[in-house]
Structure 1
Amino acid sequence: MFPSSWKYRRRVDRVVCASLPAPSRGGVAVKAIGMCEFGGPEVLQLMDLPEPHAGAGEVRIRVHAAAVSPTDVLLRTGGHAVRMPGRRPPFVPGMDVAGVIDQVGPQLDGRLSVGQRVVAMPLFTGPRGGGYAEHVVVSAESVVAAPAGVDFAAASTLLMNAMTARIALDALESQPGDSVAVTGAAGAVGGYAVELAKADGLVVIADASSVDTELVRGFGADHVVQRGNDVAARIRELVPGGVPGLVDGSVQTTEITPALADGGTLVELQGWSGPVERDITVRPIMVAPGGITDTVGLDRLARQAEDGVLSLRVAEVLPAAQAHRAHRMLEAGGVRGRLVLDFS
């Protein structure tokens, strides 16, 4: 919690802090990247925040790496404000971290211990804030052992996107041998969706630009079609009756529905829910809150990364103080793999 003396004021569409909290006398300051107002990348700043401590059912992680994702950008621009009623700034982004546990709270089952290398999904809309910090406190349910043999930067890129892909595929309720299409297959979620679908025994049709075709084939896609506005027609050329399920990683919504068979299922990643015709079912999905507390599912993904089923892709590692630059790069597009902030 922040001191009651924290002064703030609200204006339309943004929140402005009058000052940052200082650690209590004798307390320890923790470096974090956060913001006092919603806006462009320039609102991200280096902050000294009070040291957090693990409570019941929680662990504290000394963060070495935090991945940067589109949902972090959405927080920065105010898109998650509706999910944080009554929350005061600073707002700290970050839903993917890798590091070492340095404190455990009571009421744990012994699965996690001090000194353990872990990956975790902090819920940045919660009172603890997100993962852009030297130390984060996370519910033990959202923490699993890091993939063996993987450095912190690569490990930090796994959980949120892979769990999103897992939830998306589960929503299709496909059976081995079924066909599934994936758009945005060169992206972080799309790439994991292709790899997980192949691990599930599905026949995968994926889209890619000419420069990404071999990358997507490397994920295991059975067929790769040219990405673009006519991708639905290209999928229909391969499957004249349409595919029974499609994960829309490129958020093409109505443009992609012709690729689906009558009565098929379309999974959307950014909340779109229709309308659609031909008895097509649209299932908007998101990883929070259920996915981030699915300990068994998170651990399975970590082990699949460890076994090489999932490819961990780091686009670039930047110093934490350059979070604003990472956000600009992400918004500019064209990033392949994840941008990672180094807190080591």
Structure 2
Amino acid sequence: MQEQSSQTPTDRSRAVQLNAFGGPDVLDVREVPAPQAGPGQVRVRVTAAGLNPMDWLMTADADTAARFGLTLPVGFGTDYAGVVDQIGDGVSGFSSGDRAFGGALSRAVADFVVVDSSGDTAANEAHHTPDGVDDRIAATLTIAGRTASAALAAINPGPDDTVLIGGAGGGVGVFAVQLARIAGARVIGTGSPSSADHLRELGAEPVVYGDGLADRVRALAPDGVTAAMDLHGEETVHVARELGVPDKRICTIAAQIDGVTAANGANAAPGTLEEIARLVAAGRLRVPVEASFAIEEIRRAVELQAGRRVKGKVVIDLQEVVFG
């Protein structure tokens, strides 16, 4: 096993953990034994961890946690970015000092994560961080990027489409809007009145959600909407149906509705994450980070993220962030 030990102690580390399921008030920063890379694994010294709604949803109660295979005590967060500092036996493709990002299910908000070097799911994976992508941005890509890509694949937008995206300014929405625009589609995005400028910057035409949404969309798109995705709940699905969009061109990520595809990041095509990182590095996809917090501020960070009013992403900084 190769090890790079000069930058941080390798016997103890900080990690956010829960000893009981619940909300932000059960999150604590604890000192824990530092994980060690085994055969086929790499250890990453985490510099930044991105937050997602699934982080707190899947640790809110025992039944939900069990569906993800989580038991107490449990860590928190999935998206991470950092620097490889330990290489297990049999690993090829990574060296100590390589920048890496990926997913470590419910254990990313920690000084170190250990993942399979060849893993390809958000629960347990590492990818090389491209030049031009800083750690804070790399730490936002895994869950939201894959979910947005899977949602787009479900409706397959193109230059002839006008796509209605509900919850367009949120963590998944920032990816979905831009990927749909890259595919050539016109995008109408729902949000609050205060999010209009944010949505325009992403490339969407903003429309306020709530009562009268269908009429407001008709006014923006008198020739009709051809596809839709609901990234928040069910409102956009019902409006899309009212506007004549067939179910086969509607998808959700947070609701189960008969006849409508429920997109899941686990179903994203192979290579999705690398392609999204390349788009970021090339300047074709922008990831707005609304706020970053120190690990000791984890409760405040999760409260902000869970409020569902964030324009973009929330990130936890654990070490000095490496800029691409």
Q: TM-score, normalised by structure 2?
A: 0.84
Q: Secondary structure at the match of 2:160?
A: coil
Give the structure, 1 or 2, with the largest relative contact order (CA under 8 Å, sep 6 or more).
2
Q: Which residue of structure 1 lines up, in the alignment, with residue 5 of structure 2? A: none
Matched-pair contact (CA < 8 Å) for 1:120–1:138: no
State the 1:120 CA deviation: 1.0
Residues 230-276 of structure 1: CA deviation (Å, up to 9, x unaligned) = 32332234445743321112323454332342454221111x2223x
2:188 to 205, 208, 221: 205
Cα distance in 2, alignment partners of residues 326 and 255 from structure 1:
32
Distance 2:90 2:270 in 1: 16
Change in 2 beyond 3 A, CA 1:199/1:42: same
Which one of the candidate residues 239, 244, 250 is aligned to 2:226? Answer: 244
1:232 is matched with 214
Counterpart amino acid of residue 138 in structure 2: A
Deviation at 1:108, TM superposition (A): 3.6
Query: Once the two structures are superposed, what CA deviation does each residue of 1:199-249 show, in whole Å capped at 9, x if it has no partner?
Result: 11222222233322222122122x332222332332234445743321112
Residues 264, 59 of structure 1: CA spacing in aligned structure 2 closer, same or farther, 3 A cutoff?
same
Cα displacement (A) at 1:101 = 0.8
Structure 1 stretches of 4+ moved >6 Å: none
User: 1:1-344, aligned counterparts within 5 Å?
Assistant: 28-78=11-61, 80-85=64-69, 87-110=70-93, 112-124=94-106, 130-140=107-117, 141=119, 142-221=125-204, 223-239=205-221, 242-253=224-235, 255-256=238-239, 257-270=241-254, 272-275=255-258, 281-288=259-266, 290-291=267-268, 296-344=271-319
Which stretches in structure 2 are left out of the alignment for 5+ residues?
1-9, 120-124, 320-324
Q: Which amino acid aligns with 1:83?
A: R
**C-alpha deviation, 1:35, in angstroms:** 0.3
The AA in structure 2 aligned to 1:299 is E
How many residues align? The count is 301
Q: Secondary structure at the match of 2:249?
A: strand
Task: Compute the RMSD of aligned alpha carbons.
Answer: 2.3
Query: How far, CA to CA, are the matches of 1:47 and 1:120 in structure 2?
Result: 23
- In the TM superposition, residue 323 of structure 1 has moved relative to its aligned partner by 0.8
Rounded to whole Å, the distance in 2 between the matches of 1:342 and 1:58 is 24
Deviations 1:60-99 (A, max 9, x none): 11001111221111123126323245x5321111111110
Q: Deviations over 1:20-78 (max 9, x none)?
A: xxxxxxx8222100101101211111222232222343321100111122111112312
Cα contact 1:233–1:258 (8 A) shared by 2: no
Which SS does the other structure have where 1:213 is aligned? helix
Which deviates further from its counterpart, 257-266 or 99-108? 257-266
Distance change >3 Å, CA 82–CA 245, structure 1 → 2: farther
CA distance in structure 1 between the aligned counterparts of 2:71 and 2:248, rounded to whole angstroms: 43
CA distance in 2, matches of 1:89, 1:262: 43
Conserved 8 A contact 2:46-2:80: yes
What's the CA shift string for 1:119-164, capped at 9, x where partnerless? 111123xxxxx20111001223332222423432232122221211
8 Å Cα contact 1:159-1:302 kept in structure 2: no
Gaps of 5+ in 1: 1-26, 125-129, 276-280
In structure 1, what residue type is equivalent to 2:318? F
Q: How far apart in 2 are the matches of 1:94 and 1:192?
A: 19
